[in-house]
């Protein structure tokens, strides 16, 4: 019975596409790109405003150069603060503004609702999420 299923990779990628398609209209309504949302979420997770752009890039699996235009935009729109670290002025301290925190929470709330709708019909959803959490670490 094991051989009679698609490869894990194929199924995961399929589900990934489905989730992205689900999230896209939500993100668009809020005027942020996928990566911008990933950045907002990463910054909302860390306690304390400390962080360097290179570390942030690595933590979300992106290249540091890809981050720059995203950060530029988020800063211009007042969703993040980016100022030189007084202790080492090469680095930039990144932090969400109040507005940024609110935006992140609002988007995440909608995404969670959509996720729950997707999971709703599945009896093993709790085990699925637990295992996924473990396997994606």
Within residues 22-41, the interface with a second copy by CB under 8 A covers: 23, 38, 41
- Min. distance of Cβ 92 from a second copy in angstroms? 24
- Record the tokens describing residue 74, joined without a space: 């988020």
Residue of 2, 47, 48, 65 interacting with a second copy (CB under 8 A): 2
Q: Is 7 in contact with 45 (CB distance < 8 Å)?
A: no
The sign of the dihedral angle between the CA atoms of 131, 59, 40, 50 is positive
- Record the tokens describing residue 42, joined without a space: 């990463």
Q: Is 41 in the site for DNA (CB under 7 A)?
A: no
Phi then psi for residue 95, to 5 deg, are -155, 150
Q: Is 86 in the site for a second copy (CB under 8 A)?
A: no
Within residues 52-111, the interface with DNA by CB under 7 A covers: 52-55, 62-68, 71-72, 82, 88-92
- Rounded Cα gap, residues 102 and 44, in angstroms: 10
- Min. distance of Cβ 45 from a second copy in angstroms? 9
Q: Is 130 in the site for a second copy (CB under 8 A)?
A: yes
- Min. distance of Cβ 84 from a second copy in angstroms? 29
The sign of the dihedral angle between the CA atoms of 53, 55, 60, 64 is positive
Report what 47 binds from DNA, a second copy, none; CB cut-off 5-8 Å by kind.
none
């Amino acid at each position: 019975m094991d051989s009679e299923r698609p490869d894990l990779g194929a199924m995961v990628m399929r589900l990934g596409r489905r989730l992205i398609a689900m999230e896209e209209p939500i993100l668009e309504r809020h005027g942020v790109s996928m990566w911008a949302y990933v950045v907002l979420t990463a910054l909302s997770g860390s306690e304390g405003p400390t962080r360097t752009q290179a570390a942030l890039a690595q933590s979300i699996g992106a290249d540091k150069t890809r981050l720059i235009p995203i950060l530029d935009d988020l800063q211009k729109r007042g969703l993040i603060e980016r100022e030189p670290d007084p202790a080492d002025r090469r680095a930039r301290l990144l932090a969400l503004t109040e507005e940024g925190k609110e935006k992140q929470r609002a988007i995440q709330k909608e995404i969670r609702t959509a996720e729950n709708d997707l999971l709703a019909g599945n009896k093993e959803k709790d085990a699925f999420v637990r295992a996924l959490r473990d396997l994606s670490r």
